[in-house]
Structure 1
Amino acid sequence: MSTARSATRDTVAAARLVVVKVGSSSLTTAAGGLDPARLHALVDAVAARRAAGSQVVLVSSGAIAAGILPLGITRRPRDLATQQAAASVGQIVLGHAYVASFGRYGLQVGQVLLTADDVVRRAHYRNAQRTLSRLLALGVVPVVNENDTVATEEIRFGDNDRLAALVAHLIGADALILLSDVDGLYDGDPRLGAARRIDEVADESDVEGVEAGATGASGLGTGGMASKLAAARLASAAGVPVLLAAAADAQQALHRADVGTAFATSGRRLTSRRFWLGYAADASGVLTLDDGAVTAVVDRRRSLLAAGITATKGEFQAGDVVELADTTGKVMARGITNFDAAELATMIGHSTHNLPANRRREVVHADDLVPLHRH
């Protein structure tokens, strides 16, 4: 079903650099294994977008699901070792399928496997950025997936929706298209009836009260509507418009963008470094701020001083990323601390001029601070 035009949909349709994410359930059969017809249909849509002049990065799930059938497993494995084994087999199956399908259009494919470690570590983040940019410059279609064969529970993205949002900003994409087995965002579970599809999300008020499911219907993927909503919020908050649509509508989604749910940008485009700091890097601790400090940091974009800190949590070192929370525990910003936890414990609540000379500086400088919410 087509929807009315909007500025966001026009932006997605005209985007010169697009990240397209597709989930496992949109590429595989219910029993496991790739569905060639579905995969070819997706590739047809991506190739058409390429022919229209856009560059496309494809973030594709499906490695574990593709490995289930060759291994004779009856359902998606739950233990990490078997998941990794299935991914090891399935990644080759999936890669070969993409090479053959894109080959119908004379397009080369490059596989990029990432772990969360490649995004949270600044040097790795920049390396992934350079690799993807070079592949695009060479006319290759990068196919990105989480490196399930080596990722542990501690360093997993959790789902490829978040990975797609991070990749979209990492490469400076003009739009992110999330393809799923659901044709948009609903205010309830559409399988239960009486749910209304939300065509446009202009701000947070449009999704208040939305109950997004945590898992997919097929059981073959790790995502679900909750992860897609979180990814859309992440990308749109960082200045990347998002379209959430059904994989079956890929041609329309990638061409006219007149299907599904469109998410308008809710924040300014961040620099690569500030996005990494705000959304990608791991936080090593939490600093609790009083109301005055929250106002200064979030609303006035000022540096954080020791006088505004009421408590600290975690064993962090100078140079680590920390979260800045209000008195209720809500994280309002993230930044790089200039002091380790032991030093800061002796400084809490003290005015700068009352501190020793070697500590009379900002705890977190404004240039190293990214507000996440309005106060």
Structure 2
Amino acid sequence: MKRLVVKVGSAVLTEQNRVARERMAALVELIAKVKQKGVDVILVSSGAVAAGYTICKLDKKVVANRQALASIGQPKLISMYQKKFERHEIVVSQILLTADDFDSRKRTWHAKCAVETLLKHGVVPIINENDVTATEELVFGDNDQLSAHVAHYFDADMLAILSDIDSYYDKDPNRYDDARPLKIVRQIPKEDLEAECTPNASFARGGIVTKLKAADFLLKRGGRMFLASGFDLKDAYAFLIEGRHEGGTLFLPR
């Protein structure tokens, strides 16, 4: 593997209406170790709204307030990442994108050129959706979809989503005690892709459905995705560092 996109969501990065610093530090350490293996890493990170909320307690259910919180929180989030990556002597950059950036060949090409230049110099690009200016028609709505587009259009070998959801199960584990995790998936049932989104945290906007849609997007284009826990990174370490598939779900094209 030469290039990896890592996506981490708000459910992992936030705790009790604040940024979970220890989890962020653990994520950064994982990325640093992946880079030591000679792999380029692009990080797609949520958390701007949560970071903004620690400074300004606005009602995040109101769209204008979420935009304001994202604007306040984005520089704080990047600053926190900078400090943690600096301990590993890694430089980071910020890139804000919308769905419209992938609808225009010219804009996609310019974004890709910027990413290629950053990776060439060992920088970790940190990508987030531009929640401040994106309109309803041009918004992804969750970073799972964004990360899938980033992985495809920026030529990554794999997308790794580290989440509060540790695997894709054969049935809802919250409702069925006998639900079992699926280790390898090559096709996703239509009914699962069309199910209602059920985010598990106050700042989250996705849930398992958006992750399955991200996987489906990549599978249809010959891409690969790994879904594992972002709380306990042992499965991510085993797979991404040691090449062992212990836990988590690997989505592979047919």
Q: Do they superpose with TM above 0.5?
A: yes
User: TM-score, length-normalised on structure 1?
Assistant: 0.63
CA distance in 2, matches of 1:83, 1:241: 32
Highest relative contact order (Cα 8 Å, sep 6+), 1 or 2? 2
Residue number in structure 2 paired with 1:200: 184
Q: 1:243 aligns to what SS in structure 2?
A: strand
For the 8 Å contact 1:189–1:213, the answer to whether it is kept is: no
Match of 1:332 in 2: none
Residue 148 (structure 1) aligns with: 131
Alpha-carbon distance, 1:253 to partner: 4.1
1:42 aligned partner: 27
Structure 1 residues 177 and 54, CA gap change in structure 2 (3 angstroms): same
Does residue 236 (structure 1) correspond to residue 207 (structure 2)? The answer is no
Query: Which one of the candidate residues 66, 89, 97 is aligned to 2:80?
Result: 97
- Structure 2 residue aligned with 1:79: 62
Residues 20-50 of structure 1 deviation map (CA, whole Å, 9 limit, x = unaligned): 1110111111x22211101001001000000
What's the offset of the Cα at 1:114?
Answer: 0.4
Is 1:199–1:260's contact at 8 Å kept on the other side of the alignment? yes
Deviation sequence 1:238-289 (CA, Å, 0-9, x none)? 11111111112243342235220011124xxxxxxxxxxxxxxxxxxxxxxx
Q: Distance in 1 between matches of 2:66 and 2:131?
A: 7
Runs of 4+ in 1 over 6 A off after TM superposition: none
Q: 1:99 to 1:235 in 2, by over 3 A?
A: same
TM-score by length of 2: 0.92
In the TM superposition, residue 121 of structure 1 has moved relative to its aligned partner by 1.5
Query: How many percent identity over aligned positions?
Result: 40
Distance 1:95 1:257, change over 3 A: farther
Q: What is the aligned residue count? A: 247
Q: Supply the AA of the counterpart residue of 1:265.
A: P
Deviates more, 1:129-138 or 1:213-222: 213-222
Change in CA separation of 1:157 and 1:209 when aligned onto 2, cut-off 3 Å = closer
Matched with 2:14 is: 28
**1:85 deviation in Å?**
0.4
1:115-171 C-alpha deviation (Å, 9 max, x unpaired): 111111121111111111111011100000001111122211111111111111111
Larger Rg: 1
**2:186–2:219: 8 Å Cα contact kept in structure 1?**
no
Whether the aligned pair in 1 keeps the contact of 2:98 and 2:139 (CA below 8 Å) is yes
Aligned Cα RMSD in Å?
1.6
Matching of residue 265 in structure 1 with residue 250 in structure 2: no
Q: What pairs with 1:220-259 in structure 2 (closer than 5 Å)?
A: 220-247=203-230, 248-249=232-233, 250-255=236-241, 256=243, 258=245, 259=247
Amino acid at match of 2:127: V
Distance in 1 between the 2:120 and 2:37 partners?
16
Q: Which residues of structure 2 form unaligned runs of 5+?
A: none
Does structure 1 residue 115 correspond to structure 2 residue 94? no
Cα gap change, 1:169 to 1:257, in 2 (>3 Å): farther
2:50 to 65, 68, 85: 65
CA distance, structure 1, for counterparts of residue 27 and residue 131 of structure 2 = 22
Q: 1:154, 1:203 → 2: CA distance?
A: 28
